[in-house]
Chain A
């Protein structure tokens, strides 16, 4: 089972929910931090990192002894990453998306490929929980291939918890794609509601069932609950504001470490999610039988 944890707005407690959910499930779980720009799961879990692998993208390398300056590569590149100018062909590796088009289409076969480092994927463990995270190199703009590399390490024998980046744009879609369920974490404020709506709209076309966890559930208004009712989104867990939780988080402690009574609630959350997923796959299969 693959469960993605997402949130339209940043700072609503996405990582808090992802880490506590994984830690509550213990050895059954694997956590994958796909928020490669700001991976934070490791701060709350202090995992032991066992291996680290550089993730690269293939960018062009021009053999000028073969290049006849025809300029085809620059014409086909949609990202201004290669250009024939004057008496040479220049490459701009940081612009390259790694499509391989220039190499494929060069009539002189003058282009080969050389790796550019995007970031690293680290694997390890926190107690019994398998831990995977991606970390993008500062100033690097290509997150999706790194997210893909993190997801390639998904263990099919575990309950995979994927911590998605915040927002509603393509890195989020890249993360949640292929999941069985998405937990949306939000807070009861106009900001939280607005960003939840956008994220729900973005994920809806993927046809993945979603549910909501309301963090700091007693600090604001009741608009999120109203919206969940209207949009038929199950409200799966409410976490009231507790200075102890906030203070624990600031020290790098997980919610279930400062408030161990939440372990049961997170296991309950998981059971609700699996019931939901099961029911859905049953109804999906019915028309065929």
Chain B
């Protein structure tokens, strides 16, 4: 199973980035806590609008099941939900720790977006 974490850097030791669509990197890990892939999200960071929608698409294409992030807007949330990706929002700290927290069952999944639509 693949877990995606929004990150400010390219490693498991990087601090998370609270934004979903506009996070500089999205780290994909497996449920053993190992790094599988780093998505460079630069194109989305500078997208005019719809960054969250595009980011959701790239997670769906990779078969991700869980997303850990800070804020998730309504459009991105709808897209993630349609792809069957569970969203753990309001997460912060280092990527590795968030992942650990999830693996220990400490992450509650959101029923809705926790940010306003933004551009």
Using a CB–CB cutoff of 8 Å, the interface residues on chain A facing chain B are: 74, 79-81, 83, 85-88, 90, 92, 94-95
Query: Which of B47, B53, B60, B84 is within 8 Å of A92, CB to CB?
Result: B53
Q: How far is it, in angstroms, between the C-alpha of A45 and the C-alpha of B119 when the chains are bound?
A: 36
Task: Pick from B34-42, B75-83, B107-115 the stretch touching chain A.
Answer: B75-83
Interface membership of chain B positions 38-67, coded 1 if the CB is closer than 8 angstroms to chain A and 0 otherwise: 000000000101100110110010000000
Q: What residues on B are CB-neighbors of A74 within 8 Å?
A: 57
Interface membership of chain B positions 79-91, coded 1 if the CB is closer than 8 angstroms to chain A and 0 otherwise: 1001110000000
Do the beta carbons of A80 and B54 come within 8 Å of each other?
yes
Query: Which of A80, A86, A87, A88 is within 8 Å of B50, CB to CB?
Result: A80
25 pairs across A/B with beta carbons < 8 Å?
A: A74-B57, A79-B49, A79-B50, A80-B49, A80-B54, A81-B50, A83-B57, A83-B79, A85-B56, A85-B57, A85-B60, A85-B83, A86-B83, A86-B84, A87-B82, A90-B78, A90-B82, A92-B50, A92-B53, A92-B75, A94-B117, A95-B49, A95-B50, A95-B53, A95-B75
Q: B4 CB to closest chain A CB, in angstroms?
A: 14
Q: How far is it, in angstroms, between the C-alpha of A86 and the C-alpha of B60 when the chains are bound?
A: 7
Q: How far is it, in angstroms, between the C-alpha of A80 and the C-alpha of B54 when the chains are bound?
A: 7
Grouping DSSP codes into helix (H, G, I), strand (E, B) and loop, the B interface class, with mixed when no group exceeds half, is: helix
Do the beta carbons of B53 and A83 come within 8 Å of each other?
yes
Q: How far is it, in angstroms, between the C-alpha of A87 and the C-alpha of B57 when the chains are bound?
A: 12
Count residues of B near A (Cβ-Cβ below 8 Å). Answer: 15
Q: How far is it, in angstroms, between the C-alpha of A15 and the C-alpha of B107 when the chains are bound?
A: 56
Q: What residues on A are CB-neighbors of B49 within 8 Å?
A: 79-80, 95
Q: B23 CB to closest chain A CB, in angstroms?
A: 17
**With contacts A80-B50, A85-B79, A88-B82 known, what are 16 further pairs, Cβ within 8 A?**
A74-B57, A80-B47, A80-B49, A80-B53, A80-B54, A83-B53, A85-B57, A85-B60, A85-B82, A86-B82, A90-B78, A90-B79, A92-B50, A92-B53, A95-B49, A95-B53
Q: How far is it, in angstroms, between the C-alpha of A74 and the C-alpha of B57 when the chains are bound?
A: 10
Q: A115 CB to closest chain B CB, in angstroms?
A: 20
Q: How far is it, in angstroms, between the C-alpha of A83 and the C-alpha of B80 when the chains are bound?
A: 11
Q: How far is it, in angstroms, between the C-alpha of A90 and the C-alpha of B79 when the chains are bound?
A: 7
Q: A87 CB to closest chain B CB, in angstroms?
A: 8
Q: How far is it, in angstroms, between the C-alpha of A257 and the C-alpha of B28 when the chains are bound?
A: 68
Q: How far is it, in angstroms, between the C-alpha of A86 and the C-alpha of B82 when the chains are bound?
A: 6
Q: What residues on B are CB-neighbors of A87 within 8 Å?
A: 82
Q: What residues on B are CB-neighbors of A83 within 8 Å?
A: 53, 56-57, 79
Q: How far is it, in angstroms, between the C-alpha of A95 and the C-alpha of B50 when the chains are bound?
A: 8
B117 closest partner in A (C-beta): A94
Q: B41 CB to closest chain A CB, in angstroms?
A: 14
A81 closest partner in B (C-beta): B50
Q: What residues on B are CB-neighbors of A86 within 8 Å?
A: 60, 82-84
Q: What residues on A are CB-neighbors of B78 within 8 Å?
A: 90
Interface centre among B47, B49, B60 (most CB of A within 10 A): B49
